[in-house]
């Protein structure tokens, strides 16, 4: 038997409840680390057992998790205004000698 548990409050999911499903990942490079989470539109039991799946019983628990993963919450207006500034810098190609 598989039981789904909220990542934040440890509450167990009941079959009739609609929960939030996401996938979290952390990429560690030599010079930088990057964390990301992708939230899917609808709960799916098959996808919920995949590696890196994260489960939330509510929007509040999802927000607590995101705040812990990414630091303080960014105001929505700032994310809309600074989308182009949030891109990662491009790598320069090395010149062959």
pLDDT at 40: 94
> In the chain, what's the furthest Cα-to-Cα distance?
64
Going by pLDDT thresholds of 50, 70 and 90, the confidence category of residue 95 is low
- List, for residues 30-74, the tens digit of each pLDDT value: 888 788 899 999 999 999 999 999 999 999 999 999 998 887 544
Of the candidates 93, 50, 76, the residue with the CA atom closest to the CA atom of residue 21: 50
The residue with greater pLDDT, 82 or 50, is 50
HSE (CB half, 13 Å, CA atoms) of 48? 20
What pLDDT is attached to residue 72?
A: 55
Backbone φ and ψ for 34, nearest 5 degrees, come out as -135, 130
Instruction: Provide, rounded to the nearest whole percent, the portion of the chain with pLDDT above 90.
Output: 52
* DSSP strands (E only) in the chain: 20-28, 33-39, 53-56
Phi-psi region at 14: left, alpha or beta (left = phi > 0; alpha = psi -120 to 50) = beta
């Amino acid at each position: 038997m598989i039981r789904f548990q909220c990542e934040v409050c440890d509450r167990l999911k009941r079959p009739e409840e609609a929960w939030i499903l996401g996938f979290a990942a952390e990429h560690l490079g030599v010079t930088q680390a990057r964390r990301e989470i992708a939230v899917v539109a609808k709960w799916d039991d098959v996808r919920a057992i995949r590696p890196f799946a994260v489960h939330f019983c509510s929007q509040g628990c999802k927000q607590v998790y995101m705040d812990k993963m990414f630091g303080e919450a960014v105001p929505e207006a700032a994310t809309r205004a600074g989308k182009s500034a949030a891109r990662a810098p491009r790598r320069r190609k090395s010149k062959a000698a």
